[in-house]
Structure 1
Amino acid sequence: MMKYLNIFLLLLGVYSVDISSTEHVNYKGHQVWRVIPKSKEVLAILRDMEDAFELDFWSDPVATGRPVDFRIEPKFALEIQDHLEMNGIFDYTVYISDIQDLINEQKSSRKAWTATEKAVASSLDTFVYSQYHPAEEVYEWMELVVAEYGSFVSKEQFGVTYQGRPLYVLKFHKPSSSGNPKPTIFVDALIHCREWISTASLLFIFKEMLRNPKYTHMIDEVDWYFVPMINIDGYVETWLGDRLWRKTRSTGPGSLCTGVDGNRNWDNHWSYPGASGIPCSYTYYGPMPASESEIRHLQNYIMGVGKGNIGAYVTTHSYTQLILYAYGWTEELPPENEELNATSKLMHDAIKAVHGKYYTYGPSAITIYVSSGDTADWTYEEMGIVHSYTFELRDEGRYGFLLPPDQIIPNGEEYLAGLEVLSNFVRDDYEGSGF
């Protein structure tokens, strides 16, 4: 039935087909506009505009007073302006005047760097952390880590992507000085592939944990699992085709559009409000729970680590500078809300002390918006990992998903400060439990 509904909607022009890119998608003239809705009526107007004007919401219309950012195509600009003003919405801002200009700046930065330096590093020290790296260079970084720290770091393949690329996790298991077991933290990145800063910041962070004496205690005291790239197929697409691609690259039988939102595909409250059943939607939850190879394999791997064996889970996103915890699927507060809120505040305080950046924190559905079938709810409810967090990194909208590379290291420094707080908490909690 859904198949025929999709075809009907397509013929009506309600949404368009996503075509697998073979050339770079050009965003010349595309803009990002911001509206701060002052009423529920304005929120409803913005939601209704999504299909009519083919809006790509970068931050969703979910609460009054919260900025709503959306990408518009140049062909709709005047019509959208008239529509907003006709509905009494005059307080709007052109936040990014030309998306392609920002994309070109990122390309130019990398081109200038590779013209003078080798993209392939010979060691962790010569790897350039102030630049974004395509998938093959992230793979090479993982090899460097294992080559230099193979006595306690291992690389393990836990599956393959839809297009057949290997999915890897790095395991940092350094023997403790006492010989006793240590607590564990699991960190992932790039489930939404246009959020390049998620992986870039963590490459810098784990290098610091290995190299910088100030942070080596994090690996001495805690074991880590790190998945640098979940949605690798999509990430490759953002480098070779569509820089703003978000979803996976799967194509189901009879589907008119490519991909599924991996952060709506986890087997926890799948297909509840906060996700879409329309295949062309940016938040499409997929044909079934864990339908995506990447999510299915990662779920299985985490279950293999074992319930009760992971002290904290952090999934990394951008943007809006947030620290979120359960629940995403409902505005009901989790039983451990007081503890989670207190730990989030400690992380926020540590982050703010680095470069003065504020990270709003709280339950996901209340703090940002309702989202079902997401990572942190699955790890919290299905695996019993109370300290399951979603970090939304820089910035607050000036660049959005196109954060300049000169912000990678500053972002990594403040994110590292937050993770250090979490590492210390997990360590102390583990020791206090009597293990």
Structure 2
Amino acid sequence: MRISTRSTAPAALALAFALLPTSSCAGLPQSQLRPDAAPAERSGPVVFPFLKWLRDSAVEVVFGKPSCKAKAQAPAAAIQSRYRNDVVIRFNVTSSEEEGALARATEQMVLDVWAFTPEFVDIRLDKDDVKALLTLLPKSLEPSILIPDVADAVWATFPSTSPEYDLESTFAKAARSRRPVDGVGDVFFHNYQPLPVIESWLRLLEAMFPSIVNMTSIGKSSEKRDIYALRVGAKAGASDPNNPRKTILITGGVHGREWISTSSVNYLLWSVITLYDNENLITKLLKEFDLVFIPVVNPDGYEYTWQTDRLWRKSRQLTKVRPCRGIDLDHAFGYGWDVAGRETDPCSESYGGEKPFQATEAYRLAKWVKRETVNGAQFVALLDLHSYSQQILYPYAYTCSVDPPNFENLVELAVGLAKAIRLSSGEAYTVSSACEGAVAQAYGADNAQTRVEASGGAAIDWFYHHIKTRYSYQIKVRDTGSYGFLLPSDQIVPTGEEMLSVLKYLGDFLLGNNGIEGPLWEQPSRHGNDLRRRRR
């Protein structure tokens, strides 16, 4: 890279002073912001006021005055301190009796179930409550510790320093002026991004690629935030109800704390747009299908995780128990809703409301989808991204006693999606019905066993049954428990690349090639490799 002599001196000066501890606007190292940090941990080089002023002045000369807006979105010490005594533990459940006991205990103690698979159940709780939990469980259930310090893991997911400039205003200005931003992908996927930055970035993409991208709001959340969707497709002209537009819907951010699901949808969106006209499979796909991306279905919950509670799961809607806000959107849809017929606790993490579609966001999504079908859209596939546990789940979630009509095709494609991931990254994703609890073989025809989490009202069931979405999947992305919902930001690009492999395989399958057209989906994309190299 050629650097002019004119720019070398200020750049070198800025770099030299950047090695000093940063100003209050640029962020502080973790050890200086941790509320429980010991004096020794806070120790560091002494910065004299004159040097600090000189350093800040030099940076302002080169980069302009820094904005504190980005830092205001970083976690306050209170967000981290609320988890100071928390751990995540894992139980390997081997019988229906063990799962039933665990389900009753977690409900009684109102615990936060992080994951339940046919192999394990992960739970977050105060370490002082572990003993009380074990008294409610069979002696055969012995936990292992997955995350010994949740507070540190929470902190690590936030950007360690503020960006050199305000991403939100930078993207917004570029969108208004309709000018591209060089390296926008490098900047955006370097960290998890707060909601205002995501919304500005989506507007920028529409401005940069107006011929194939259209941005819309599908409705307002319970706290009156827009739920944004971007439609990407090469077809021009208005929709025609007599000539249905085949549509693939990709959603993320149904649960606020699952930041990697939101970043993965954004990564797919960016990849599809930038690969159009550069890669045959994606180009073909966009000529035959519309792809609709909704990165944050639950904007209220997502925003709350940035401002108040990093591990908040539900929406922020008021319930009949005023202190217990929020509805689990993935138990709020109107098919198989509350199939067990039991009263659920609004304080529960899996509370689906008092009736179907009580959750504003689920209602808005369903209403928008129905309106789209009337206007000529045919939803042929749904990829609903969640975290974590590396699973590909197909309908039904509400019961194991009924198989979907195209059961064999659903399973065959799901296995192909898992294979595409394995070929691209080496990571193993399991395939199973969404109805299966921690002990898959325990459920008979009546599905009467007590499950660790409520099963009805899932989005994939409603889409499959009511919208006739033939290929409806919930994909739980990385990882398998080392970090859980607190996946480090250096996993954003690799996880996004895995989901790009999934989308390519799905697209090839829907184009009639049964997922075996060629090696296009078997290799990480070129721009994904570029992003990884630049992060090192």
| TM-score (normalised: structure 2) | 0.70
Tell me the CA shift for residue 256 of structure 1: 4.4
For 1:115 and 1:294, the matched residues in 2 are separated by: 31
**In 2, Cα distance between the equivalents of 1:376 and 1:276?**
23
Distance 1:278 1:54, change over 3 A: closer
Q: Which amino acid aligns with 2:270?
A: K
Alpha-carbon displacement from aligned partner over 1:169-199 (angstroms, at most 9, x marks no partner): 11113128xxx97632011111111111011
Residue 42 of structure 1 is aligned with which of 95, 98, 106? 98
Match of 2:193 in 1: 133
> 2:167 matched to 1:119?
yes
Q: Secondary structure at the match of 1:71?
A: strand
Moved more, 235-244 or 271-280: 271-280
- Does residue 353 of the first structure (1) align with residue 423 of the second (2)? yes
Match of 1:106 in 2: 157
Bigger shift: residues 144-153 or 209-218: 209-218
The answer on 1:144 being equivalent to 2:204 is yes
1:272/1:81 CA distance change after superposition, 3 Å: closer
> Do the aligned partners of 1:185 and 1:312 also contact (CA within 8 Å) in 2?
yes
Q: 1:115 to 1:387 in 2, by over 3 A?
A: closer
| Aligned pair partner of 2:115 in 59, 67, 78 | 59
Work out whether residues 170 and 225 of structure 1, in 8 Å CA contact, stay in contact via their aligned partners in 2. yes
Query: Is 1:391 aligned to residue 444 of structure 2?
Result: no
Equivalent residue number for residue 501 of structure 2:
417
Q: Sequence identity, in percent?
A: 29
Alignment correspondent of 1:235: 302
Q: What is the distance in 2 between the residues matched to 1:361 and 1:201?
A: 19
CA contact (8 A) 2:282 2:504 kept: no
Equivalent residue number for residue 340 of structure 1: 410
Task: Indicate if the aligned counterparts of 1:314 and 1:389 stay in contact, CA closer than 8 A.
Answer: yes
CA separation in 1, counterparts of 2:130 and 2:198?
38
Match of 2:346 in 1: 279
Partners of 1:81 and 1:101 in 2: how far apart?
A: 25
Which residue pairs with 2:432 in the alignment? 362
Alignment RMSD (CA, Å): 2.6
Query: Which of the residues 221, 225, 232 maps onto 1:165?
Result: 225
Change (3 A) 1:292 1:182: closer
Deviation at 1:45, TM superposition (A): 2.6
Cα distance change on mapping 1:286 and 1:46 into 2, 3 Å? same
Count of aligned positions = 400
Partner Cα distance (1:187, 1:33) in 2: 31
Match of 2:262 among 199, 204, 211: 199
Counterpart CA distance in 2 for 1:423 and 1:73 is 44
Change (3 A) 1:76 1:252: closer
Contact 2:388–2:476 at 8 Å: present in 1 too? Answer: yes
- Residue 115 of structure 1 and its aligned partner are, at CA, apart by 4.6
1:76 equivalenced with 2:76 (yes/no):
no
Which 5+ residue runs of structure 1 have no aligned equivalent? 1-20, 431-435
Q: Structure 1 residues 168 and 130, CA, compared in 2 at 3 Å: closer, same or farther?
A: same
The answer for the alignment partner of 1:3 in structure 2 is: none
The alpha-carbon distance between structure 1 residues 427 and 183, as it changes in their structure 2 partners (threshold 3 A), is farther
How far does the alpha carbon of each residue in 1:260-318 deviate from its partner, in whole angstroms, 9 at most, with x for none? 11111111121213986211111111122111221111101101111771111111111
Q: State how far apart, in whole Å, the 2-side matches of 1:39 and 1:263 are.
A: 26
Q: Aligned equivalents of 2:127 and 2:342: distance in 1? A: 27
Post-superposition Cα deviations, 1:43-99, rounded to whole Å, max 9, x if no partner, equal 233223214444211123x75xx2110011132134445665xx3236421010010
Q: Distance in 2 between matches of 1:424 and 1:182?
A: 17
Q: Give the CA deviation at 1:118.
A: 4.7
> Does structure 2 conserve the Cα–Cα contact (< 8 Å) formed by 1:323 and 1:391?
yes
**Structure ID, larger Rg:** 2
Distance 1:289 1:138, change over 3 A: same
- Map of 1:311-350 to 2, 5 A cutoff? 311-331=380-400, 332-350=402-420
Secondary structure of the 1:314 match is strand
Is the CA contact 1:275–1:283 (under 8 Å) kept in the aligned structure 2? no
Q: Is the 8 A contact 2:320 2:346 kept in 1?
A: no
**Amino acid in the other structure paired with 1:164:** K
Q: 1:263–1:373: 8 Å Cα contact kept in structure 2?
A: yes
CA distances 1:344-380 after superposition (whole Å, capped 9, x unpaired): 1111111111111111113211376762111000000
Equivalent residue letter for 2:356? P
1:34/1:132 Cα in 2 relative to 1: closer, same or farther (>3 Å)?
A: same
- Which amino acid in 2 is paired with 1:321? Q
Say if 1:254 and 1:340 are closer, same or farther in 2 by CA, change over 3 A. Answer: closer
> Measured at CA, do residues 396 and 206 of structure 1 come closer, stay the same or move farther in structure 2, by a change above 3 Å?
same
Distance 2:343 2:382 in 1: 25
User: Could you say if the C-alpha distance between residues 310 and 80 of structure 1 is closer, same or farther in structure 2, counting changes exceeding 3 Å?
Assistant: closer
TM-score (norm 1): 0.85
1:278 to 1:224, Cα distance in 2 relative to 1, 3 A: same
Partner of 2:83: 27
Q: CA deviation at 1:128?
A: 2.2
Which residue identity lines up with residue 312 of structure 2 in the other structure? W
The one-letter amino acid paired with 2:397 is G
In structure 1, what residue type is equivalent to 2:128? Answer: K
Retained in 2: the 8 A contact 1:275–1:285? no
- Which of 481, 492, 496 lines up with 1:408 in the alignment? 492
